[in-house]
Amino acid sequence: MDINPTPPNEIPQSAEKAVLALSRSFNLMSLNMSAKQLLGCNPAPGEIFPLQRLFANGDAVAAHQAFETVVAQAKEVDVSLATVIGADGLKVPCEYAAQPILRGPRQVIGVIFTLRRLSSVDRPVLASPIETIEPMPLFSAQGLFDDLPKGSFTIDTHWRITTFNRAAENLTGFRREEAISRHCWEIFRSDLCGKQCPMRLALDRKQTEMDRQVFAVSRHGLRQALTVNVSLLKDEAGHIVGAVETFHPAGGDRPTAFAEPGRLKGIIGNSTAMRELFAKLPDLAASRANVLICGESGTGKELIARTLHQLSGSHDAPFVAVNCAALAESLIEAELFGHEKGAFTGAEQSRPGRFELAGKGTLLLDEIGELKPDLQVKLLRVIEQRSFERVGGIRSMAFEARLISATHQDLSRAIQEKRFREDLYYRLRTVTIMVPPLRERTEDIPLLVDHFIRHFNAKTGKQVRSLDPKVMQRLMAYHWPGNVRELQRCIEHAFVFVKGPVIFQHYLPELETTPAELLASSALPVTVEVHDRDSLLWALKQAGGRRAAAAKLLGISRTSMWRRMKAMGL
């Protein structure tokens, strides 16, 4: 997609080094405030700006050679020393670097000069400050551009990154080699990427975008608040050739509350499994592919779906969640697709369904494995045709929302048992996310406990600070059949009774001996799987027919126990 508007005439003012961008014909494309202050003037974009106007004496010749090298080879030059003609003709010792402005992988359309004024500490100045300068060690490619304290990158007219400095690497987690030639939204993954991003606003409004606040997610799942400045570059003919963006943590260099490790939106976890999940979510959010989220009850599947929606370019559109297991069987079709007036007894007026209410946002079908076969057929048709009809209606309506499904069931087994359509399964699972149970990421428990303590402190007005070490040991050893939801209820139970700043064991609900310990003492054959009929019967017998106790023996929730009994006709 090409960029058409005319750019403003300044590189963002937040850069601390002097920065000038020149076209191949030496027309000024852009400059920042530091460059204006160094030169003591404010040249207009498009104005011819020969290097003799910038560099003194023979240094202009060397700068020309550097310029030609950048243009011919499409690569950066090492940092060099030079004397710059500053305000009022003052000769200012500086060091400078040059790098290309690219359109596509090899077409150079201009050169960026980055200059830093040298003090007496940086280099000795003797009788003649120009001729007697001591040589200074040169440092490698990208030079001063890398030394800019703010993250910075430039894009071409196809939104592909052409330069990427070291601070940008640190803030995004992507190396320069990975970022170059990729679309900016693939690397700088902010909540505004899309129609409301500062770069697009700068293009649409034809003016510099300054001090815009965004939330961006790094490669490692770190969410942080950033301040962004954007300006555009143009050639001598006034055509847009790209844009430059600088960014830094909001509120200075200190991490904000949104930059805490192990947190992405409302999802919490610092285990290997959760970090891998965090790394996937921004890429998934940027696409419109169907996603199937699998995991046990209580692991946070809906929370992950909401996070995908919030990170997407459609975050301002509706998010509609439907629990397929909670809807009455006789009304579920009308709930999903809506109905016209008189479609059935009690339908006194037309009503939109969840598919219609989702608009261009996100539709979550939770517990998708509970859908009856006849409704699975209709859902398959909607996914394939991207349209549906209200119950009792004849008008076809477009289905424009992104579809996310979630289930705690093993759908592969459900397919084998003829309870779920195989063709629907493959339509739903373009991408599959497996959410690990809490017992497989116990290292996340302290982080979750800290989050819940802060949450319930704010809700109840109490001042709880920590858990007794024995309590934490008990929580770490417990099997958590109800996963994160059960842990949350456990801490909430403690808040009902806790009087001081520390939660002790007697404030907790009763936590049974872990299923692993129960199984070890009960002669359950290790070859028996907890999901099959014999295991259910064994657990019910051991528990005297009590479903709750049997569920704990198997390490599953009571709801899962009931569903499996129902599915097996027990």
Using the Cα atoms of residue 379, residue 385, residue 391 and residue 392 in order, give the sign of their dihedral.
Answer: negative
Please check whether residues 332 and 455 belong to one and the same domain. Answer: no
**End residue of a domain, out of 249, 274, 303:** 249
Provide the domain count of the chain.
4
DSSP string, 145-167: HHH-SSEEEEE-TTSBEEEE-HH
Token pair of 103 as six digits: 């359109």
Please check whether residues 407 and 280 belong to one and the same domain. Answer: yes
Please check whether residues 47 and 169 belong to one and the same domain. Answer: yes
Which of helix, strand or coil describes residue 95?
strand
Please check whether residues 500 and 531 belong to one and the same domain. Answer: no
Q: How many Cα neighbours within 13 Å face the side chain of 194?
A: 14
Find where tokens 């090298």 sit: 69
Q: What is the CA radius of gyration of the chain?
A: 31
Domain CATH for 339: 3.40.50.300
Domain CATH for 58: 3.30.450.20
Q: Which of 455, 558, 464 is nearest to 512 (CA)?
A: 558
Please check whether residues 334 and 272 belong to one and the same domain. Answer: yes
Q: Does residue 152 lie within any of the structural domains?
A: yes
Residues 480 and 516: their CA atoms lie apart, in Å, by: 11
Q: Which of 77, 86, 83, 76 is nearest to 34 (CA)?
A: 86
Q: Does residue 117 lie within any of the structural domains?
A: yes
Please check whether residues 482 and 442 belong to one and the same domain. Answer: yes
Please check whether residues 170 and 211 belong to one and the same domain. Answer: yes
Q: Does residue 43 lie within any of the structural domains?
A: yes
Please check whether residues 454 and 527 belong to one and the same domain. Answer: no
Which of helix, strand or coil describes residue 259?
helix
Please check whether residues 89 and 45 belong to one and the same domain. Answer: yes
**End residue of a domain, out of 249, 277, 306:** 249
Which residues form the domain of 480? 438-507
Q: Does residue 143 lie within any of the structural domains?
A: yes
Domain CATH for 535: 1.10.10
pLDDT in tens, the chain (570 residues): 444 433 334 444 434 688 888 888 888 888 888 888 888 888 877 788 888 888 887 788 788 888 888 888 888 887 778 888 888 788 888 888 888 887 766 678 888 888 888 764 444 333 333 333 333 333 333 444 666 678 888 888 778 888 888 889 888 888 888 888 888 887 887 777 766 788 888 877 777 787 787 877 777 666 677 888 888 777 667 777 778 888 888 654 433 333 345 677 778 887 888 888 888 888 888 888 999 999 999 999 999 999 999 888 888 899 999 998 887 777 788 888 988 887 777 778 888 989 999 999 999 999 999 888 888 998 999 999 999 989 888 888 999 999 999 999 999 999 999 999 999 999 998 999 999 999 999 888 888 998 899 899 999 999 998 888 788 888 888 889 999 999 999 999 999 999 888 899 889 988 765 444 444 334 333 333 334 566 677 777 777 777 777 776 666 667 777 777 777 777
Cβ burial, residue 558 (10 Å; 0-12/13-18/19+): middle
Q: Are 97 and 116 in contact, with CB atoms under 8 Å apart?
A: no
Q: Are 491 and 482 in contact, with CB atoms under 8 Å apart?
A: no
Please check whether residues 215 and 133 belong to one and the same domain. Answer: yes
Q: Does residue 2 lie within any of the structural domains?
A: no
Total length of the chain: 570
Q: Does residue 399 lie within any of the structural domains?
A: yes
Please check whether residues 307 and 383 belong to one and the same domain. Answer: yes
Domain CATH for 489: 1.10.8.60
Q: Are 139 and 148 in contact, with CB atoms under 8 Å apart?
A: no
**End residue of a domain, out of 491, 507, 523:** 507
Q: Does residue 11 lie within any of the structural domains?
A: no
Q: Does residue 418 lie within any of the structural domains?
A: yes
Please check whether residues 60 and 151 belong to one and the same domain. Answer: yes
Find where tokens 């930059």 sit: 259
Q: Are 269 and 441 in contact, with CB atoms under 8 Å apart?
A: yes
DSSP string, 519-569: HHTTT--TTS-TTSHHHHHHHHHHTTT-HHHHHHHHT--HHHHHHHHHHTT
